[in-house]
Amino acid sequence: MSRYGPRIAALARRAERDRAALDGADSAADPEAAREYLREGAGRAIWWYVEARTGGRLVAFSEAEFAAIERAMNDWLECYTRCHGVELEADFTVRQAAELLLETRNVVDTAQLLTGVPERERQGRVSR
């Protein structure tokens, strides 16, 4: 178990609870809740992965830790899309998300690029 093990386990449990809570709820649009799932959930999971890979010493996650951090991130991405009225079975890699986060420097942009939610308006589109 890495030094991140207990934090990853707690993060994974919270992600499961958040997703389960949304499973029983009406999926009314709630952009602020969507951002909260990203800031306090998915973004934290992604950042721990980045930190473990770039923090001076490479941290070797166990298979269970790696699976837990990736599942937690995907659970929160599902919560994020549900808050936008979209059902999505998220199956993204934490590495893919980390690369996007480092490029965009913004977890909301990272989530939008991964999930396609909400749809971005096309440049040059004329409104009628």
Per-residue pLDDT of the chain in tens (128 residues, 90 and over written 9): 778 899 999 999 999 999 999 887 776 689 999 999 999 999 999 999 999 988 777 888 999 999 999 999 999 999 999 999 999 999 999 999 999 999 999 999 999 999 999 987 654 454 44
**Angle at the Cα of 27 from the Cα atoms of 71 and 17, rounded to 5 degrees:** 35
Look at residue 42 in the predicted model and tell me its pLDDT.
98
Look at residue 3 in the predicted model and tell me its pLDDT.
81
Amino acid of residue 106: N
* Count of C-beta atoms within a 10 Å radius of residue 3: 9
Cβ–Cβ under 8 Å, residues 120 and 109: no
Look at residue 59 in the predicted model and tell me its pLDDT.
85
The answer to whether the pTM exceeds 0.75 is: yes
Look at residue 85 in the predicted model and tell me its pLDDT.
92
Q: Which residue matches tokens 């079975």?
A: 89
